[in-house]
């Protein structure tokens, strides 16, 4: 058995639960970023498939704002994915610190 202070272990366990909840939130943000990245791909594939029904020069006034919107969505999706990756690495480091502080908690967290 462990000779750790039960109150200290309870606090560390609560901290670990909070950090793991934050990590799940980062995973949800990553999932959202991937969905945002998929949207421009879908729109571009639709434009390519229907390109035989229009001439680019005749609809250029529609295509330019659409291309700008697609670029913005790609940048936003990439930002969300990259930010969530860095946040999850940060949370992993915090969990590793907690595991080093308490042998009891390190048994439960992989």
Look up residue 16 and give its two tokens. 């670990």
Q: Please name which of 109, 77, 79, 83 lies closest in space to residue 94, comparing C-alpha atoms.
A: 109
Local structure of 76: helix, strand or coil: helix
Inter-residue contact 33 to 84 (CB < 8 Å): yes
pLDDT digits (tens, 9 = 90+) for 3-40: 667 888 889 889 999 999 999 999 999 999 999 999 99
Q: Please name which of 75, 70, 80 lies closest in space to residue 62, comparing C-alpha atoms.
A: 70
Predicted TM-score of the model (pTM): 0.82
**Cα distance between the two ends of the chain:** 19
Look up residue 89 and give its two tokens. 């690495």
Residue 1 has pLDDT above 50, yes or no: no
Cα–chain-centroid distance for residue 8?
32
CA atoms 82, 88, 91, 97: torsion sign? negative
Share of the chain above pLDDT 70, in %: 95
């Amino acid at each position: 058995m462990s000779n750790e202070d039960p109150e200290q272990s309870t606090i560390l366990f609560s901290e670990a639960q909070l950090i793991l909840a934050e990590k799940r939130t980062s995973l949800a943000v990553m999932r959202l970023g991937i969905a945002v990245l998929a949207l421009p791909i879908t729109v571009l594939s639709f434009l390519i498939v229907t390109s035989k029904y229009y001439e680019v020069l005749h609809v250029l006034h529609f295509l330019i704002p659409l291309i700008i919107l697609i670029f913005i969505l790609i940048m936003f999706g990439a930002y969300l994915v990259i930010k969530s990756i860095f946040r999850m690495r940060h949370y992993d480091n915090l969990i590793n610190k907690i595991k080093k502080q308490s042998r009891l908690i390190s048994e439960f967290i992989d």
